[in-house]
Structure 1
Amino acid sequence: MLYIGIDLGTSAVKLLLMDEKGDIKNIVSKEYPIFFPRTGWSEQNPEDWYEKTVEGIGELIDGFDKNKISGISFGGQMHGLVILDDNDEVIRPAILWNDGRTEKETNDLNQIIGKDKLSEYTANIAFAGFTAPKILWLKKHEPKNFEKICKIMLPKDYLAYKLSGIFCTDYSDASGTLLLDVKNKCWSKEMLKICGIQENQLPKLYESYEVVGNIHPETAKSIGLPEKIKIIAGAGDNAAAAVGTGTIGDGKCNISLGTSGTIFISSDKFSVDCHNALHSFVHANGKFHLMGCVLSAASCNMWWMDKIIGTNDYVEEQKKIEKLGENHVYFLPYLMGERSPHNDPDARGIFIGLTMDTTKEDMTQAILEGVAFAIRDCFEVAKTLGIQIEQTKICGGGAKSTLWKKIIANVLNMRVDSVESEEGPGYGAAILASVGCGEYDNIEDAVNTYVKVSDTIKPDPGLVKKYDKKYKKFTEIYPAIKDLFPKIK
Structure 2
Amino acid sequence: MYLGLDLGTSGLKGLLIDADQAVVAEAAAPLTVTRPHPGWSEQAPADWLSAASAVMEQLAAKSDLSAVKGIGLSGHMHGATLIDARGDVLRPCILWNDTRSHAEAAALDADPQFRAVSGNIVFPGFTAPKLAWVKAHEPDVFKATAKVLLPKDYLRLWLTGEAVSEMSDAAGSSWLDTGARDWSDDLLAATDLSRDHMPALVEGSASSGGLRAELAANWGLRPGTPVAGGGGDNAATAIGMGVTKPGQAFLSLGTSGVVFAPTASYAPAPETAVHSFCHAIPDTWHQMGVILSATDALEWYGRLVGQKPAQLTGALSGVTEPGRALFLPFLGGERTPHNDARIRGAFIGLENETTTEAGTRAVMEAVGYALKDSLDALAATGTEVNQLIAAGGGSASKVWLETLASILQTPIALPVSGDFGAAFGAARLGMMADTGDTSLATPPKLHATIDPNAALADAFATAHGRYKDTYTALKDLS
| Range into which the TM-score falls when normalised by the shorter chain | over 0.9
- Cα gap change, 1:318/1:471 in structure 2, threshold over 3 Å: closer, same or farther? farther
| Equivalent-residue separation in structure 2 for 1:432 and 1:476 (angstroms) | 43
Aligned pairs for 1:35-434 (under 5 A) are: 35-111=34-110, 113=111, 116-273=112-269, 275-286=271-282, 287-305=284-302, 307-312=303-308, 314-315=310-311, 317-320=313-316, 322=318, 324-420=320-416, 421-434=418-431
Q: Which residue of 2 aligns with 1:472?
A: 465
- Cα gap change, 1:408/1:320 in structure 2, threshold over 3 Å: closer, same or farther? closer
Q: Please state whether the residue corresponding to 2:205 is helix, strand or coil.
A: coil
- Partner AA of 2:70 in structure 1: G
Report the more deviating stretch, 292-301 or 323-332. 323-332
Q: Please state whether the residue corresponding to 2:223 is helix, strand or coil.
A: coil
Deviations 1:142-165 (A, max 9, x none): 111111111111000011111011
Shift of 1:463: 2.1
Shift of 1:385: 1.8
Report the more deviating stretch, 146-155 or 413-422. 413-422
Q: Is residue 24 of structure 1 aligned with residue 18 of structure 2?
A: no
Q: Please state whether the residue corresponding to 2:69 is helix, strand or coil.
A: strand
User: Is this contact kept in 1: 2:275–2:289, CA < 8 A?
Assistant: yes
Shift of 1:61: 2.6
Q: Is residue 447 of structure 1 aligned with residue 446 of structure 2?
A: no
| Equivalent-residue separation in structure 2 for 1:120 and 1:129 (angstroms) | 19
- Partner AA of 1:371 in structure 2: V
Aligned residues: 476
User: Is this contact kept in 1: 2:322–2:362, CA < 8 A?
Assistant: no
User: Is this contact kept in 1: 2:326–2:362, CA < 8 A?
Assistant: yes
User: Is this contact kept in 1: 2:294–2:367, CA < 8 A?
Assistant: yes
| Equivalent-residue separation in structure 1 for 2:434 and 2:108 (angstroms) | 41
- Partner AA of 2:214 in structure 1: E
Shift of 1:130: 0.2
Deviations 1:266-305 (A, max 9, x none): 1121112261410110011221001111111101101111
Q: CA RMSD in A?
A: 1.5
Report the more deviating stretch, 362-371 or 467-476. 467-476
Select which of 476, 482, 486 maps to 2:475. Answer: 482
Shift of 1:313: 6.0
| Equivalent-residue separation in structure 2 for 1:460 and 1:317 (angstroms) | 19
| Equivalent-residue separation in structure 2 for 1:128 and 1:217 (angstroms) | 39
Q: Please state whether the residue corresponding to 1:394 is helix, strand or coil.
A: strand
Q: Please state whether the residue corresponding to 2:280 is helix, strand or coil.
A: coil
| Equivalent-residue separation in structure 2 for 1:427 and 1:333 (angstroms) | 29
User: Is this contact kept in 1: 2:25–2:59, CA < 8 A?
Assistant: yes
The sequence identity of aligned pairs, in percent, is 34
Q: Which residue of 2 aligns with 1:461?
A: 454
Taking structure 1 as the reference length, the TM-score comes to 0.94
| Equivalent-residue separation in structure 1 for 2:449 and 2:174 (angstroms) | 36
- Cα gap change, 1:13/1:294 in structure 2, threshold over 3 Å: closer, same or farther? same
User: Is this contact kept in 2: 1:315–1:401, CA < 8 A?
Assistant: no
Q: Please state whether the residue corresponding to 1:244 is helix, strand or coil.
A: helix
Report the more deviating stretch, 390-399 or 323-332. 323-332
Taking structure 2 as the reference length, the TM-score comes to 0.96
| Equivalent-residue separation in structure 2 for 1:403 and 1:453 (angstroms) | 18
Q: Please state whether the residue corresponding to 2:455 is helix, strand or coil.
A: helix
Q: Which consecutive residues of structure 1, in runs of 5 or more, have no partner in the other structure?
A: none
Report the more deviating stretch, 61-70 or 143-152. 61-70
User: Is this contact kept in 1: 2:312–2:357, CA < 8 A?
Assistant: no
- Partner AA of 1:339 in structure 2: R
Q: Which residue of 2 aligns with 1:9?
A: 8
User: Is this contact kept in 1: 2:165–2:202, CA < 8 A?
Assistant: yes
Q: Please state whether the residue corresponding to 1:176 is helix, strand or coil.
A: coil
| Equivalent-residue separation in structure 2 for 1:411 and 1:323 (angstroms) | 10
- Partner AA of 2:434 in structure 1: C
Shift of 1:323: 5.6
Q: Please state whether the residue corresponding to 1:62 is helix, strand or coil.
A: helix
Shift of 1:477: 1.1
Shift of 1:418: 2.0
Report the more deviating stretch, 360-369 or 410-419. 410-419
Deviations 1:214-250 (A, max 9, x none): 1111222233322141111100000001111111101
Q: Please state whether the residue corresponding to 2:171 is helix, strand or coil.
A: helix
